[in-house]
A and B are shown apart, each in its own frame.
Chain A
Amino acid sequence: MVSLESPLLRYGLVMLVLGLLWKLAAMALGGVILPHPEDALAAFATALTTRIFWEHFGVSAYRAVTAMALAWGIAFPLGLFMGSVRRADALLAPFIFLTYPVPKIVLLPVFLLLLGLGDASKIAMITLILAYQILVTTRDGVRSIHPKYFDSVRSLGGSRWNVLREVLIPAALPHGFTALRLGTGVSVAVLFFVESFATTRGLGYMIMDAWGAMDYLGMFTGILGMSMMGAALYEVANLLERRACRWMFLRRKT
Chain B
Amino acid sequence: MMLRADNLGKSFGGTRVLDDVSFDLGDGETLAVVGPSGCGKTSLLYMLSGLSRPDSGAVFLDGAPVTGPTPDISIILQDYGLLPWRTVVDNVALGLKVQGVPRAKRLELARAQLAELGMAGHGQEYPATLSGGEQQRVAIARAFVSRPRLMLLDEPFSSLDALTRERLQRTLLDVWTRRKVPYVLVTHSLEEAVVLGRRIMVMSSRPARPVAVFDNPGFGDASIRDTEACFRLLRELRHTVEALW
Contacts and interface: CB of A to CB of B under 8 A. Distances in A.
Interface of A: 148-149, 151-159, 162, 166-167, 170-171, 173, 245-247, 250-253
A173 B69 CA distance: 27
B82 interface: yes
Interface in B77-104: 77-79, 81-86, 94-95, 97-99
Q: What are the nearest 7 A-B pairs in CB distance?
A: A152-B81, A170-B85, A156-B95, A158-B98, A247-B126, A155-B75, A247-B85
A67 to B, nearest CB: 28
B130 interface: yes
A156 B83 contact: no
B51 interface: yes
Contact of B79 (A148, A247, A251): A148
Contacts of B79: 148
A153 B85 CA distance: 13
B128 A252 contact: yes
A154 B129 contact: no
Interface of B: 46, 49, 51, 69-71, 74-75, 77-79, 81-86, 94-95, 97-99, 126, 128-131, 134, 142, 146
Contacts of B142: 156
A34 to B, nearest CB: 48
A108 to B, nearest CB: 39
B79 to A, nearest CB: 6
Contacts of A247: 84-86, 126, 128
Contacts of B131: 253
A250 B85 contact: no
B128 A151 contact: no
Counting chain B CB atoms within 10 Å of each CB, which of A148, A156, A246 scores highest? A156
A151 B77 contact: yes
B159 to A, nearest CB: 13
A251 to B, nearest CB: 7
Contacts of A152: 77, 81-83, 94
Summarize A's interface: helix, strand, loop or mixed. Answer: helix
Contact of B94 (A151, A166, A173): A166
B98 A159 contact: yes
B203 to A, nearest CB: 21
B160 to A, nearest CB: 14
A19 B10 CA distance: 68
30 contacts: A148-B79, A149-B81, A149-B83, A151-B51, A152-B77, A153-B83, A153-B98, A154-B51, A154-B69, A155-B74, A155-B77, A155-B81, A156-B69, A156-B95, A156-B142, A157-B69, A157-B70, A157-B95, A162-B98, A166-B83, A167-B83, A173-B85, A246-B126, A250-B126, A251-B129, A252-B128, A252-B130, A253-B129, A253-B130, A253-B134
Contacts of A155: 49, 51, 69, 74-75, 77, 81
A138 to B, nearest CB: 15
Counting chain B CB atoms within 10 Å of each CB, which of A151, A246, A250 scores highest? A151
Given A155-B49, A155-B51, A247-B86, 7 more contacts: A148-B78, A151-B46, A151-B77, A156-B146, A247-B126, A251-B129, A252-B128
A170 B94 CA distance: 14
Given A154-B51, A247-B126, A250-B129, A170 B70 contact: no
Contacts of B129: 250-253
Counting chain A CB atoms within 10 Å of each CB, which of B49, B71, B82, B128 scores highest? B128
B147 to A, nearest CB: 13
Nearest to A158: B98
B225 to A, nearest CB: 28
A159 B70 CA distance: 11
A203 to B, nearest CB: 37
A225 to B, nearest CB: 37
Contacts of B46: 151
Contacts of A153: 83, 94, 98
Given A251-B129, A253-B131, A157 B81 contact: no
Given A151-B77, A247-B128, A157 B71 contact: yes
Counting chain A CB atoms within 10 Å of each CB, which of B46, B83, B126 scores highest? B83
Contacts of A162: 97-98
B17 to A, nearest CB: 17
Contact of A156 (B98, B126, B128, B130): B98
Contacts of A246: 126
Contacts of B84: 247
A247 B85 CA distance: 5
